[in-house]
C-alpha cells in the first residue's frame, strides 16, 4: 500500500517535471511553424536543423562554455573551499560574503556590471568574456556545495594519512578527495546546469558572433520559436536519457553482481 502511494507520488511529480518536455518533443514533429493545432507528422525540422549552421554553432558554443566554465569553476572552487576551511583569520566572513553575492544579485545586474567592466578594461566581447562571466557565477555554487564537506571532515585526517606512510599525493587522492567527492560532483552538476541555462548574463557578455542557445532562442521570440529548436531539444534530451538508462543498467548489474 505504502509502495503504491510512493510510486504514485513519484509518477505525479515526474509528470509535472516532464510534461513541458513532452510538449516540445511532440511539436518537433508537427508540420507547422506554429506551436498551435496539430498539422501532421514531419521530420523536416530535423533536416532543417542540421542545415542551420547558426543554431549548430550556438549549440557548440553553449557546450564549450558549459564545459570550460564547469571544469574551471569546479577546480578553483574546490581549492578555494579548502583554503576557506583553513581560514582562521577575520578574512573568512567578508570572503564568504563576497562569494555569496553572485547568488544574491539579480542576474541582470551581474550581466550589466560585468559588461561595463569588460568595456572599461577594453576587452573585446566574445568567448573569453562570456566564459569569464560564467566562471564568476558558477564558482560560488561550487564553494557552497564543497565547503560543508570539508567542515564535516575529522580535523587531522590528512596528517593521519601522512603519519601512516602515505605520500602527500596518496593522502590527497586516496583519503581526502573521496571524502569531498560528493560535494565536488554536485557542485559541478549545479555549475553545468546553471551555465547551460543562463540567458541574461550571457546576453550582455557575448559578442562577435559568439552566442549561446539561450540568446538564439530569446531573439527568435518575436517571430515565434522555430520548431528547429524543438528538434534540437528533443535530440539533446534523447541523448541524456539514453546515457542515463545505460548507466543505470550498468549500476543495477553491478549491484546484482555484488549480491
Least distance to another protein, CB of residue 189, Å = 7
- Min dist CB 117 to another protein, Å, is 5
* Residue number with CB closer to another protein (46 or 83): 83
Euclidean distance between CA atoms 120 and 117, whole angstroms: 5
Residue 65 found at the interface with another protein (CB under 8 A): no
For residue 43, the minimal CB distance to another protein (Å) is 19
Answer whether 209's CB lies under 8 Å from 145's CB.
no
- Cβ 215 to another protein, closest distance in Å? 8
- Binders in 176-195 for another protein, by CB under 8 A: 181-183, 185-186, 188-190, 192-193
166 binds another protein (CB under 8 A): no
Q: In the set 29, 45, 114, 134, which binds another protein (CB under 8 A)?
A: 114
Q: Distance between CA atoms of 74 and 192, rounded to whole angstroms? A: 10
Burial bucket for residue 201 (CB in 10 Å: 0-12, 13-18, 19+): buried
Among 42, 63, 166, 175, binds another protein (CB under 8 A): 63
Count residues near another protein (CB under 8 A): 140
Q: Are 118 and 152 in contact (CB under 8 A)?
A: no
- Closest separation between CB of residue 170 and another protein, Å? 13
Which residue of 1, 4, 40, 89 would you call a contact of another protein, by CB under 8 A?
89
Cβ proximity of 187 and 141 under 8 Å: yes
Query: Rule CB under 8 A: is residue 136 a binding residue for another protein?
Result: yes
Give CA–CA dist 212/56, Å, rounded.
10
DSSP letters for 113-166: HHHHHHHHTTPPPSHHHHHHHHHHHHHHHHHHHHHHHHHTS-TTHHHHHHHTT-
Residue numbers 36-55 binding another protein by CB under 8 A? 36-37, 39, 51-54
Amino acid at each position: 500500500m505504502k509502495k503504491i502511494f510512493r510510486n504514485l507520488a513519484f509518477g505525479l511529480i515526474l509528470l509535472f517535471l516532464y510534461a513541458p518536455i513532452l510538449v516540445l518533443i511532440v511539436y518537433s514533429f508537427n508540420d507547422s511553424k506554429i506551436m498551435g493545432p496539430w498539422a501532421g507528422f514531419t521530420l523536416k525540422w530535423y533536416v532543417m536543423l542540421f542545415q542551420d549552421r547558426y543554431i549548430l554553432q550556438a549549440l557548440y558554443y553553449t557546450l564549450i562554455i558549459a564545459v570550460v566554465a564547469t571544469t574551471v569553476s569546479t577546480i578553483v572552487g574546490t581549492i578555494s573551499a579548502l583554503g576557506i576551511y583553513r581560514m582562521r583569520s577575520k578574512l573568512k566572513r567578508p570572503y564568504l560574503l563576497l562569494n555569496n553575492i553572485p547568488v544574491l544579485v539579480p542576474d541582470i545586474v551581474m550581466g550589466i556590471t560585468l559588461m561595463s567592466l569588460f568595456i572599461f578594461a577594453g576587452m573585446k566581447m566574445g568567448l573569453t568574456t562570456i566564459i569569464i562571466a560564467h566562471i564568476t557565477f558558477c564558482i560560488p555554487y561550487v564553494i557552497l556545495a564543497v565547503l560543508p564537506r570539508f567542515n564535516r571532515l575529522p580535523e587531522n585526517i590528512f596528517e593521519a594519512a601522512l603519519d601512516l606512510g602515505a605520500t602527500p599525493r596518496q593522502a590527497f587522492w586516496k583519503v581526502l578527495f573521496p571524502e569531498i567527492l560528493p560535494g565536488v560532483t554536485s557542485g559541478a552538476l549545479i555549475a553545468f546546469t546553471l551555465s547551460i541555462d543562463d540567458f541574461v548574463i550571457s546576453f550582455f557578455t557575448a559578442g562577435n558572433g559568439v552566442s549561446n542557445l539561450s540568446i538564439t532562442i530569446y531573439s527568435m521570440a518575436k517571430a515565434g520559436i522555430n520548431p528547429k529548436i524543438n528538434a534540437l531539444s528533443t535530440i539533446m534530451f534523447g541523448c541524456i536519457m539514453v546515457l542515463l538508462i545505460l548507466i543505470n543498467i550498468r549500476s543495477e548489474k553491478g549491484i546484482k553482481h555484488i549480491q
